[in-house]
Every structure is written in structure tokens, then in C-alpha cells.
């Protein structure tokens, strides 16, 4: 390319004359032999990979959200259907039980492995049913006897005093209703720290009905006691 000032031929790349330093003006129609610089191509492959990564992340989040909802529903269903008592209460003894008693002393459900006890002497005038487990640490006794001959108080306050004198602890005595009849419920620990819980039921003015359940397994004691019925 020729300099318009001094006429010296310059390279087409030069913007200024190599001889006089004058700015070189390219004339119209003058064709440059320099190859055009290619424009950089957009990195379309990188964009596609980024889009795939984002899509996978969204799918993963969606899966975790669905699993969390399903797990929450399962937990709610489980807590609602656990009718035996929620915080890890043992299975009620009424699932593997036998019904014992009779129309005179009442009926009760005890564990199926409990056996009937031999009646002690001196109780011939009292209707009695007694069952206990093999260790005799858990048992239930049902009796029917004349109120006038009972050797325990038939008044709530008097019964509490009698148990306290006996040396019982954690005594709770209250009036309740059993099978539609007035009754007294007593719960206490004897001096040997064995749990006792029972009812004195007044079906009529002449006879009292007593159920006493004792043992070291508090759950079994309460489950057995709560099945007592005079009907």
C-alpha cells in the first residue's frame, strides 16, 4: 500500500507509513491481501451442558420433595392408627386372654398363660375366683361376700386411712362407677413395693364385689383391672 505523502510502498497491515509516519489512507477499490480474522463461534455445547445440569438439579429437588411429603403422610397415618397408646405402650393383654369368673363374682380377662389358683382354706363362705401367672408375681382375685363381713373398710376415706396404717404408699382412693354400680377404686404400693389396684363394687345393700389385681407389671395390672364387669 503506497503512502500518499512520500510515495513509499508499505505493508497492508501498516496504519502509518514506515518512512514518514503519515497515516495511511486506503483508497477505494484497493483490495487487501490480508485474510479476514474469523469471528469467534458461540460455545453452544457448553450452554447445552449447563441447561442439562440445571434440569437434573430441578428433577432431583422434586423427587426429594415428593418423598418428604409421602414420609410425612405415613407418619401421620401411623400415629393415628396406634390405638394401643402412643408412646411405646406394650400391647394390651386383652389380645391373648381368657375370660374368667362367673355370674356371682363377675368376669375379667386375664393373660392366657395365667392359671387358676387353689382356693385357700377358711374362705368356704366367700365366692372367690383367683388366677395368677407362673411366678405368682401377677394375679387377680374376684370375690363376692356380705358387706357386713368384709374385713376392709367400705368407705373411701376410711379405706385410705386403713391402707396408710398398713404401710402402703402412693395411695389413691376415689369413687367410680363399675357396670352401672357405685364402687370405690383403690391404687397403692404395698410395703414390698408391689402394685395393687382394685374395686369394691356395691351391687346391692347386702353383698360387695371385690376385684384386686396385683403385680410388678403396671401395664398388665391396669389392663386386667379395666376388663372387670359384673354383667
CA distances from 5 to 8, 14, 15, 73 (A): 8, 14, 13, 90
Question: In the block, which residue shows the cell 449447563?
Answer: 50
Mean pLDDT of the chain: 77
**Domain spans, the chain:** 1-31, 93-225
How do residues 118-170 score in pLDDT, each as one tens digit?
Answer: 877 766 668 899 999 998 889 999 999 888 888 888 888 999 999 999 899 99
CATH number for the region 93-225 comes to 3.40.1000.10
193-209 pLDDT, tens digit per residue, is 889 999 999 988 888 99
- pTM of full prediction above 0.85: no
Among the listed residues 138, 134, 136, 140, the one whose alpha carbon sits nearest the alpha carbon of residue 101: 140
Integer angstrom CA distances of residue 11 from 4, 24, 27, 50, 179: 14, 10, 14, 45, 120
Amino acid at each position: 500500500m503506497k503512502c500518499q505523502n512520500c510515495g513509499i510502498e508499505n505493508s497492508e497491515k501498516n496504519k502509518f507509513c514506515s518512512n514518514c509516519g503519515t497515516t495511511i489512507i486506503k483508497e477505494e477499490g484497493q483490495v487487501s491481501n490480508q485474510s479476514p480474522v474469523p469471528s469467534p463461534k458461540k460455545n453452544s455445547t457448553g450452554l447445552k451442558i449447563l441447561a442439562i445440569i440445571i434440569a437434573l438439579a430441578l428433577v432431583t429437588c422434586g423427587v426429594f420433595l415428593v418423598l418428604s411429603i409421602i414420609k410425612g403422610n405415613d407418619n401421620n397415618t401411623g400415629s393415628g392408627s396406634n390405638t394401643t397408646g402412643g408412646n411405646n405402650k406394650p400391647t394390651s393383654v386383652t389380645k391373648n386372654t381368657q375370660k374368667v369368673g362367673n355370674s356371682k363374682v363377675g368376669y375379667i380377662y386375664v393373660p392366657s398363660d395365667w392359671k387358676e389358683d387353689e382356693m385357700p382354706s377358711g374362705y368356704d363362705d366367700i365366692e372367690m375366683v383367683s388366677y395368677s401367672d407362673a411366678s405368682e408375681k401377677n394375679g387377680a382375685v374376684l370375690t363376692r361376700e356380705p358387706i357386713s363381713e368384709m374385713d376392709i373398710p367400705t368407705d373411701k376415706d376410711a379405706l385410705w386411712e386403713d391402707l396408710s396404717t398398713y404401710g402402703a404408699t402412693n395411695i389413691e382412693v376415689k369413687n367410680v362407677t363399675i357396670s352401672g354400680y357405685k364402687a370405690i377404686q383403690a391404687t397403692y404400693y404395698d410395703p414390698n413395693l408391689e402394685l395393687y389396684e382394685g374395686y369394691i363394687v356395691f351391687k346391692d345393700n347386702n353383698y360387695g364385689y371385690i376385684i384386686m389385681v396385683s403385680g410388678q407389671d403396671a401395664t398388665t395390672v391396669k389392663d386386667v383391672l379395666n376388663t372387670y364387669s359384673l354383667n
